[in-house]
Amino acid sequence: DAGITQSPRHKVTETGTPVTLRCHQTENHRYMYWYRQDPGHGLRLIHYSYGVKDTDKGEVSDGYSVSRSKTEDFLLTLESATSSQTSVYFCAISELMQSSYNEQFFGPGTRLTVL
Amino acid sequence: KQEVTQIPAALSVPEGENLVLNCSFTDSAIYNLQWFRQDPGKGLTSLLLIQSSQREQTSGRLNASLDKSSGRSTLYIAASQPGDSATYLCAVMAAGNKLTFGGGTRVLVKP
Protein backbone atom coordinates (compact mmCIF):
# COMPACT_ATOMS: atom_id res chain seq x y z
CA ASP A 1 0.00 0.00 0.00
CA ALA A 2 1.14 3.54 -0.79
CA GLY A 3 2.30 5.38 2.32
CA ILE A 4 -0.49 7.92 2.73
CA THR A 5 -1.95 8.97 6.04
CA GLN A 6 -4.69 11.45 6.79
CA SER A 7 -5.38 13.20 10.06
CA PRO A 8 -7.68 13.44 11.79
CA ARG A 9 -9.68 10.42 10.64
CA HIS A 10 -12.89 11.75 12.15
CA LYS A 11 -13.86 15.26 13.16
CA VAL A 12 -17.03 16.95 14.37
CA THR A 13 -17.03 20.72 14.37
CA GLU A 14 -19.45 23.62 14.46
CA THR A 15 -20.48 25.99 11.72
CA GLY A 16 -18.13 28.94 11.39
CA THR A 17 -15.06 27.33 12.91
CA PRO A 18 -11.83 26.83 10.94
CA VAL A 19 -10.75 23.26 10.19
CA THR A 20 -7.49 21.93 8.80
CA LEU A 21 -7.07 18.43 7.42
CA ARG A 22 -3.63 16.97 6.87
CA CYS A 23 -2.36 14.55 4.26
CA HIS A 24 1.09 13.04 4.71
CA GLN A 25 2.90 10.82 2.19
CA THR A 26 6.13 8.86 2.37
CA GLU A 27 6.37 8.09 -1.38
CA ASN A 28 8.02 11.37 -2.47
CA HIS A 29 5.35 11.76 -5.18
CA ARG A 30 5.11 15.12 -6.86
CA TYR A 31 1.33 15.34 -7.23
CA MET A 32 -1.12 15.50 -4.36
CA TYR A 33 -4.90 15.94 -4.45
CA TRP A 34 -7.85 16.59 -2.21
CA TYR A 35 -11.25 15.11 -3.09
CA ARG A 36 -14.58 15.05 -1.36
CA GLN A 37 -17.06 12.19 -1.64
CA ASP A 38 -20.78 12.74 -1.21
CA PRO A 39 -23.80 10.54 -1.92
CA GLY A 40 -25.26 11.43 -5.29
CA HIS A 41 -22.19 13.41 -6.34
CA GLY A 42 -19.42 10.85 -6.23
CA LEU A 43 -15.83 11.95 -5.87
CA ARG A 44 -15.01 15.52 -6.82
CA LEU A 45 -11.64 17.28 -6.93
CA ILE A 46 -11.23 20.22 -4.55
CA HIS A 47 -7.61 21.29 -5.04
CA TYR A 48 -4.42 19.72 -6.21
CA SER A 49 -0.68 20.36 -6.03
CA TYR A 50 1.98 19.72 -8.65
CA GLY A 51 4.92 20.58 -6.43
CA VAL A 52 5.95 22.41 -3.29
CA LYS A 53 4.06 25.71 -3.18
CA ASP A 54 2.41 24.93 -6.53
CA THR A 55 -1.32 24.43 -6.23
CA ASP A 56 -4.41 24.85 -8.37
CA LYS A 57 -8.18 24.70 -8.04
CA GLY A 58 -10.35 21.75 -8.83
CA GLU A 59 -14.05 21.42 -9.55
CA VAL A 60 -15.37 22.38 -6.10
CA SER A 61 -12.77 24.73 -4.58
CA ASP A 62 -15.05 27.44 -3.14
CA GLY A 63 -14.68 27.65 0.65
CA TYR A 64 -11.42 25.68 0.69
CA SER A 65 -7.76 26.63 0.62
CA VAL A 66 -4.65 24.47 0.50
CA SER A 67 -0.97 24.73 1.28
CA ARG A 68 2.06 22.62 0.50
CA SER A 69 5.29 23.73 2.13
CA LYS A 70 6.96 20.30 1.98
CA THR A 71 6.79 17.48 -0.56
CA GLU A 72 5.27 15.11 1.98
CA ASP A 73 2.49 17.30 3.40
CA PHE A 74 -0.63 18.76 1.80
CA LEU A 75 -3.04 20.68 4.01
CA LEU A 76 -6.70 21.42 3.30
CA THR A 77 -8.27 24.29 5.24
CA LEU A 78 -11.91 25.19 5.62
CA GLU A 79 -11.67 28.81 6.72
CA SER A 80 -15.20 28.90 8.12
CA ALA A 81 -16.87 25.52 8.01
CA THR A 82 -20.47 25.21 6.76
CA SER A 83 -22.90 22.30 6.95
CA SER A 84 -22.55 21.80 3.18
CA GLN A 85 -18.91 20.84 3.79
CA THR A 86 -19.95 17.77 5.78
CA SER A 87 -18.37 15.02 3.72
CA VAL A 88 -15.69 12.39 3.51
CA TYR A 89 -12.40 13.89 2.36
CA PHE A 90 -9.78 11.86 0.54
CA CYS A 91 -6.21 12.69 -0.23
CA ALA A 92 -4.44 11.11 -3.20
CA ILE A 93 -0.94 11.09 -4.66
CA SER A 94 0.57 10.34 -8.04
CA GLU A 95 3.74 10.75 -10.03
CA LEU A 96 4.56 11.51 -13.65
CA MET A 97 6.86 8.83 -15.00
CA GLN A 98 8.28 8.58 -18.52
CA SER A 99 5.69 10.98 -19.93
CA SER A 100 2.86 8.80 -18.66
CA TYR A 101 0.64 9.86 -15.83
CA ASN A 102 0.81 7.26 -13.17
CA GLU A 103 -1.79 5.75 -10.92
CA GLN A 104 -3.40 7.80 -8.21
CA PHE A 105 -3.24 6.23 -4.77
CA PHE A 106 -5.70 7.22 -2.11
CA GLY A 107 -5.49 7.72 1.63
CA PRO A 108 -7.98 6.25 4.13
CA GLY A 109 -10.17 9.37 4.27
CA THR A 110 -11.34 11.86 6.89
CA ARG A 111 -14.99 11.95 7.87
CA LEU A 112 -15.94 15.55 8.68
CA THR A 113 -19.24 16.55 10.22
CA VAL A 114 -20.16 20.22 10.50
CA LEU A 115 -23.05 20.86 12.90
CA LYS B 1 -16.76 19.03 -19.64
CA GLN B 2 -15.89 15.35 -19.20
CA GLU B 3 -18.68 13.18 -17.82
CA VAL B 4 -18.22 9.60 -16.67
CA THR B 5 -21.14 7.21 -16.30
CA GLN B 6 -21.32 3.76 -14.76
CA ILE B 7 -24.36 1.60 -15.43
CA PRO B 8 -25.82 -0.22 -13.60
CA ALA B 9 -25.53 1.53 -10.26
CA ALA B 10 -25.95 -1.80 -8.48
CA LEU B 11 -25.47 -5.44 -9.43
CA SER B 12 -26.11 -8.72 -7.63
CA VAL B 13 -24.71 -12.04 -8.88
CA PRO B 14 -24.31 -15.57 -7.49
CA GLU B 15 -20.84 -16.69 -6.52
CA GLY B 16 -18.84 -18.07 -9.44
CA GLU B 17 -20.50 -15.96 -12.08
CA ASN B 18 -18.35 -13.57 -14.12
CA LEU B 19 -18.83 -9.86 -13.43
CA VAL B 20 -19.01 -7.28 -16.20
CA LEU B 21 -18.86 -3.64 -15.15
CA ASN B 22 -19.29 -0.80 -17.62
CA CYS B 23 -17.87 2.70 -17.75
CA SER B 24 -18.50 5.33 -20.41
CA PHE B 25 -17.01 8.79 -20.86
CA THR B 26 -17.96 11.68 -23.12
CA ASP B 27 -14.58 13.12 -24.14
CA SER B 28 -12.17 10.68 -25.77
CA ALA B 29 -9.15 12.96 -25.20
CA ILE B 30 -7.93 11.09 -22.14
CA TYR B 31 -4.48 10.13 -20.89
CA ASN B 32 -5.55 7.06 -18.99
CA LEU B 33 -8.42 5.31 -17.24
CA GLN B 34 -8.24 3.83 -13.78
CA TRP B 35 -10.48 1.31 -12.02
CA PHE B 36 -10.82 1.40 -8.24
CA ARG B 37 -12.47 -0.67 -5.58
CA GLN B 38 -14.03 0.86 -2.47
CA ASP B 39 -15.23 -1.10 0.54
CA PRO B 40 -17.81 0.51 2.85
CA GLY B 41 -16.25 3.20 5.03
CA LYS B 42 -12.84 2.76 3.42
CA GLY B 43 -10.61 4.50 0.94
CA LEU B 44 -10.14 3.67 -2.71
CA THR B 45 -7.89 0.83 -3.81
CA SER B 46 -6.43 1.07 -7.30
CA LEU B 47 -7.14 -2.08 -9.33
CA LEU B 48 -5.97 -1.36 -12.86
CA LEU B 49 -4.61 1.54 -14.86
CA ILE B 50 -4.95 1.58 -18.64
CA GLN B 51 -2.95 4.13 -20.58
CA SER B 52 -4.70 5.75 -23.55
CA SER B 53 -2.43 3.84 -25.96
CA GLN B 54 -3.43 0.46 -24.48
CA ARG B 55 -6.46 -1.67 -25.31
CA GLU B 56 -6.51 -3.76 -22.16
CA GLN B 57 -4.82 -4.51 -18.87
CA THR B 58 -4.93 -7.66 -16.77
CA SER B 59 -4.24 -8.49 -13.15
CA GLY B 60 -5.16 -11.93 -11.83
CA ARG B 61 -8.92 -12.44 -12.23
CA LEU B 62 -9.37 -8.84 -13.39
CA ASN B 63 -9.29 -7.67 -16.97
CA ALA B 64 -10.07 -4.16 -18.14
CA SER B 65 -10.55 -3.07 -21.74
CA LEU B 66 -10.50 0.42 -23.19
CA ASP B 67 -12.07 1.65 -26.42
CA LYS B 68 -11.15 5.31 -26.49
CA SER B 69 -12.90 6.11 -29.75
CA SER B 70 -16.26 4.95 -28.45
CA GLY B 71 -15.64 6.29 -24.94
CA ARG B 72 -16.01 2.95 -23.16
CA SER B 73 -14.19 0.74 -20.72
CA THR B 74 -15.25 -2.61 -19.29
CA LEU B 75 -13.97 -4.32 -16.17
CA TYR B 76 -14.30 -8.10 -16.13
CA ILE B 77 -13.95 -10.07 -12.92
CA ALA B 78 -13.77 -13.81 -13.50
CA ALA B 79 -15.32 -16.38 -11.18
CA SER B 80 -16.68 -13.88 -8.67
CA GLN B 81 -16.33 -14.50 -4.93
CA PRO B 82 -18.19 -13.00 -1.95
CA GLY B 83 -15.00 -11.06 -1.17
CA ASP B 84 -15.46 -9.19 -4.46
CA SER B 85 -18.49 -7.45 -2.99
CA ALA B 86 -17.68 -3.73 -3.01
CA THR B 87 -18.26 -0.56 -5.02
CA TYR B 88 -16.24 -0.29 -8.20
CA LEU B 89 -15.35 3.12 -9.57
CA CYS B 90 -13.84 4.14 -12.86
CA ALA B 91 -12.07 7.43 -13.43
CA VAL B 92 -10.55 9.07 -16.49
CA MET B 93 -7.58 11.40 -16.54
CA ALA B 94 -7.56 14.26 -19.00
CA ALA B 95 -5.56 17.47 -19.30
CA GLY B 96 -4.16 18.83 -16.05
CA ASN B 97 -3.52 15.44 -14.44
CA LYS B 98 -7.01 15.47 -12.93
CA LEU B 99 -9.33 12.50 -12.54
CA THR B 100 -13.05 12.59 -13.28
CA PHE B 101 -14.96 9.82 -11.54
CA GLY B 102 -18.05 7.87 -12.40
CA GLY B 103 -20.74 7.29 -9.81
CA GLY B 104 -19.70 3.69 -9.21
CA THR B 105 -21.33 0.27 -9.42
CA ARG B 106 -22.17 -1.44 -6.13
CA VAL B 107 -21.59 -5.17 -6.46
CA LEU B 108 -22.96 -7.91 -4.24
CA VAL B 109 -21.75 -11.47 -4.78
CA LYS B 110 -24.04 -13.94 -3.03
CA PRO B 111 -22.61 -17.18 -1.64
The pLDDT tens digits of the residues spanning B5-27 come to 999 999 999 999 999 999 999 99
DSSP letters of chain B? ---EE-S-SEEEEETTPPEEEEEEES----SEEEEEEE-TTS-EEEEEEEETT-SEEEETTEEEEEETTTTEEEEEESS--GGG-EEEEEEEEETTTEEEE---EEEEEE-
pLDDT at A98: 63
Q: Which residue in B has a C-alpha nearest to residue A92's C-alpha?
A: B44
Hey, are the CB atoms on A103 and B45 less than 8 Å from each other?
Answer: no
**pLDDT over 70 percentage in chain B:** 99
Q: Is A57 on the interface with B (CB under 8 A)?
A: no
Q: How confident is the model over B74-104, as pLDDT tens digits?
A: 999 999 999 999 999 999 998 777 899 999 9
Nearest to B49 among A45, A50, A103 (CB): A103
Q: Does A44 score more than 90 pLDDT?
A: yes
Q: Does A99 score more than 60 pLDDT?
A: no
Nearest to B43 among A45, A50, A107 (CB): A107
All residues of chain B having their beta carbon less than 8 Å from the beta carbon of residue A90 are 43-44
Nearest to A106 among B43, B102, B103 (CB): B43
Evaluate whether B23 touches B6 at the Cβ level (below 8 Å): yes
Count Cα atoms within 13 angstroms, Cβ side, for B99.
32
All residues of chain A having their beta carbon less than 8 Å from the beta carbon of residue B103 are 42
All residues of chain A having their beta carbon less than 8 Å from the beta carbon of residue B45 are 106
Q: Is A50 on the interface with B (CB under 8 A)?
A: yes
More confident residue, B75 or B31: B75
pLDDT at A100: 59
- Averaged pLDDT, B39-53: 92
pLDDT at A103: 85
